[in-house]
Structure 1
C-alpha cells in the first residue's frame, strides 16, 4: 500500500495537532489564549484545551496570568513557551576555535563558551574530544539551571554525510572522519542525541529563525574557509547530496594560487581570513583596524573577489539578499563598496532588482546558534516525541 493511501492513525492526528498548537504559541509575539489558538487553528476549544494540558505537563508551555484590564469580562490567561523546558546544545568546530551554546525553547542563549586555538595540528580525534569536553561543561551549566537537554547538533566547516561522517573538510585537513561517532562517544555527551551539519547551512538556518526579514537569501560565512547557506522561500537548499554552498571553492581567477581543495584561484585564496590578514600585514582578526590604509586595501581586494563570486550565484539563483556572517559581519563596512561595485557590474538584473547586502543578525555566533536551533525546531515540529520521552 502506498504511503498516501495508508489510513491516518489517531496517534498521528494527535501528533499533528500538538505541533499545530505549539507552533501557534511559538509564533505569537505575545501570550496567546486557548480561544485564540482554537480560532487560528480551526480546532475545537475542547481539543485545544486537552492538547494544551499535555503540552503544559510536558514542560513545553506555560500559562501566565493576564494583565489587568478595565471593562467587562475576565481576561483569558495566556500561553507562552516554557523557558525552563527542554533545551538544546549547539556546538561548532572551526579552523581556529571551538564553540558551544545552550539555547532554551524560546531561542534564548542561556550559556555560551568560545575557545580560540588552531585545531589543525591536533587532528580530528583530539579536536573532537576537546569539543566534547567543552560540551560537557555546557551540559553541566544547563543541568545546574534545571534545563533538560533534548539533543545536540554540531556545525563543521566541511562536507557532511547522512551518517554524520565528514568526507572532507579541506581547511581542517580532515578526510573521512566519523565526527558524529567520535563526538558522541565522549563521556561528557554520552546518551545525548547528536546530529552533524555543515556550518554554513546551520548559520543560514539560524539567520532565518532570527528573523532578518528575507525568506530567500545567501548567507556567507567568512572564516579561514568560506561557506554559503542558500535559503529559498524559507527552505534551506542542500543539493542532491547535501553538499551545496561551497562558495569558497568557486574559481575567481582560474590561474590563481593553489587551494587546499586541490584547485587553483578559489575564492578562499583571495577573500578568506588568512588572505585578508596576510594582505593587511596583521597576525589576527582582532588586529584589523578599518582606519588603516593597509586594512582598507586588503578588504577592498577581498570584497572584489567576493563580489565576483556572489554575482555568479545571484545570476544563477535569482536571490536579492546577501547576508554576510562569521568574520565578515564586523568587516562589512570595509567590504561593502567593492562587493557592491562587482554586483552592479556583473549581475544581469542589477538595474531591475538591486541586491541587498547586510550583516548577519547573529554575527559570528550564527553557526552554533543555528546548530542549537535545529534541535529546538525538531521539538517544535514533533512535540509528541518529546512528550513520549518526558
Structure 2
C-alpha cells in the first residue's frame, strides 16, 4: 500500500503530538531527532499543533552546547473536553473532563434502571448537568463515549441481558441529538482502556469487570482487542461447571451464574434474610467475621481464580486488574485469587485491584473519545 503525502503528514503529526504528551516538555530540536524529520518539517507540524491549540510553548529550556536556549513545547489539555458515561445495570456514572482526564464535573446516580423508554431522556439530563457552567475551550466538547454492559460492535448493541436496548438504534438517536462525535463500547473494554491510558505502565494487560455480569477487556501491544463481532472478553459465559446452573445465554454452568456480584448479593440476601444486599453490606458481614459469608467469599475467589488462570494461559498478559466494588471493599479477595494460582506462569503476572480511585470505565470512555480526537491510538496519560 502506498501512503499519500497527506497520510504521511497525518502520521508524522500524530507521532509528534504523542511524543510531546509522553515527554511533558520537549524542544523542536529533540522532536526532530526522535521523529527522524528535518527541522523545517517539525517546525511546520508544531506550528499547526500550536494553531490548533493542542500544543503550547511553555518555557525557555536550558542552553544547548551551541549556547541557544530552546523553547519547550507541551501538550495543552484544556484545548477541549470529553464526556464519559457508564450505563450500568442499576446505576449511571458520568464525567466531563479535560483532554488529560482531569475532572471538571462528575455525576453518580444509583437505583437507576435503563430502558429504551427512558435512556434518551436520562442521557440528555446528564449531558445538560455536565455542561452547565462549562469552561470555555477552543474545541469545546470533542466527543462522548457511552459504556454498555453487553456485546457492542461498531457502536451497535448486539446483545445484552441488562436492558432492552438491542432493537433500539441508540447511536442513531444520539447522533441526531448532538453535534459532537458519539461512540458506544463495551464497559469491560473501556475499563481496560482506562487502566492502560491512565494507570498502567504495561502494554499487555487484562481488566476483569465484576458487576451484574463478568467481562474482560484486553489490551495487546497497547491496542484494545475486541475480537470477531465484539465477542472477545465475554468471560462470564465461559463454562465453570458443565451441566451446572442454567444461563440465559443457553449454556449451563457459566461463570456469571456463580461469580457475578448480582448472584453473590442474591445468595447472601437469601442466606442472611436481608432484603437489600450490596457491596457495603457484604463488606460489613465479612469484617464482622460472619463465618457463612467468609466461606462464600472464599469459594467465590477460588472460582474466579480458575477463570484468571485460564485467561493468563491463553493471553499471557503482564498484568491482570480487577474492577469491582467487591474486590475494592474486600481486597483480600484478590489475595485469595493470587494464592490459588499455583503455576509458575501466573506467578510472573502482576495481579491487583484497579489503582484508579473512581470508575475505571469512565476513564476508559474519556480515553476512547480523546484517542479519536487526537488521532493517537496508543495514548498514555499517566503522570
- Structure 2 vs 1, CA of residues 225 and 363 (structure 1 numbering), >3 Å: closer, same or farther? farther
Q: Secondary structure of 1:112's match?
A: strand
- Structure 2 vs 1, CA of residues 31 and 98 (structure 1 numbering), >3 Å: closer, same or farther? same
Q: Which structure 1 residue ranges, 4+ long, deviate > 6 Å from structure 2?
A: 67-72
Give the TM-score normalised by structure 1.
0.85
8 Å CA contact 1:139–1:149 kept in 2: the answer is no
Matched ranges for 1:314-325 at <5 A: 314-325=312-323
The residue that corresponds to 2:375 in the other structure is 381
8 Å CA contact 2:62–2:70 kept in 1: the answer is no
8 Å CA contact 2:246–2:253 kept in 1: the answer is yes
Q: Secondary structure of 1:103's match?
A: strand
Give me the whole-angstrom Cα distance separating, in 2, the residues matched to 1:48 and 1:78: 13
8 Å CA contact 1:129–1:183 kept in 2: the answer is no
The residue that corresponds to 2:49 in the other structure is 55
| Range moving further from structure 2, 70-79 or 235-244 | 70-79
Q: Secondary structure of 2:94's match?
A: strand
**Which of residues 286, 292, 303 in structure 1 aligns to 2:288?**
292
8 Å CA contact 2:80–2:137 kept in 1: the answer is no
8 Å CA contact 1:208–1:215 kept in 2: the answer is yes
User: In angstroms, what is the RMSD of aligned CA positions?
Assistant: 2.7
Give me the whole-angstrom Cα distance separating, in 2, the residues matched to 1:132 and 1:306: 37
Give me the whole-angstrom Cα distance separating, in 2, the residues matched to 1:351 and 1:316: 11
8 Å CA contact 2:80–2:138 kept in 1: the answer is no
- Structure 2 vs 1, CA of residues 67 and 49 (structure 1 numbering), >3 Å: closer, same or farther? closer
| Range moving further from structure 2, 362-371 or 200-209 | 362-371
The residue that corresponds to 1:218 in the other structure is 206
| 1:129 and 2:121 correspond | yes
Unaligned runs of 5+ in 1: 384-390
Give me the whole-angstrom Cα distance separating, in 1, the residues matched to 2:326 and 2:318: 19
**Offset of residue 72 of structure 1:** 9.3
**Offset of residue 194 of structure 1:** 0.8
Unaligned runs of 5+ in 2: 378-383
Q: How many residues align?
A: 367
Offset from partner CA, 1:56-106 (integer Å, 9 cap, x none): 111101111236889994532211111220222111101011122123222
- Structure 2 vs 1, CA of residues 364 and 297 (structure 1 numbering), >3 Å: closer, same or farther? farther
Give the TM-score normalised by structure 2.
0.86
8 Å CA contact 2:18–2:376 kept in 1: the answer is no
The residue that corresponds to 2:16 in the other structure is 21
